Amino acid sequence: MAAKKILLVDYQKNVQDVIQEFGRQKRKEIIISENGQDALDTAKEEKPDLIIIRKDIPALDALSVSVLLKETEATADIPVVVICSGATSEEKERFRDAGLTACLEEPVTLETLDEALKPWL
């Protein structure tokens, strides 16, 4: 059985490092994109099992990427988790409306990842 793929869309090296370590420990393949347009292209090509995306990435933000993924048949069923810090209840509602599955609060640690991602991995 092939390892599950996680597409991480984040430009912060410390978050990339934590999620790559998570992938090593859990035997998941981690693919990294640093902007929204690249994330869309990569999601269509790689068909990851889960996407983790920073709220304010360049090129297209997390809301735009999620909406575009949900409108595309090949990527519509991929769960998308947004990394956000201090998101208001209104922001979280907008995330849900855009098809984002969950909000992962910072700081991102191995422990918070393990707990937050259990439903999908």
pLDDT digits (tens, 9 = 90+) for 15-61: 999 999 999 999 999 999 989 999 999 999 999 999 999 998 988 88
pLDDT band, residue 1 (cuts 50/70/90): low
57 contacts 36 by C-beta, under 8 angstroms = yes
Among 86, 77, 37, residue whose Cα is nearest residue 57? 37
**Structural domain count of the chain:** 1
Residue-range definition of the domain harbouring residue 109: 5-117
> Cα separation of 39 and 68, whole Å?
11
> How distant is the alpha carbon of residue 110 from its chain centre?
15
50 contacts 104 by C-beta, under 8 angstroms = no
Q: The CATH number of the domain where 21 resides is what?
A: 3.40.50.2300
State residue 85 phi and psi, 5-degree precision: -120, 130
Name the pTM for this structure. 0.92
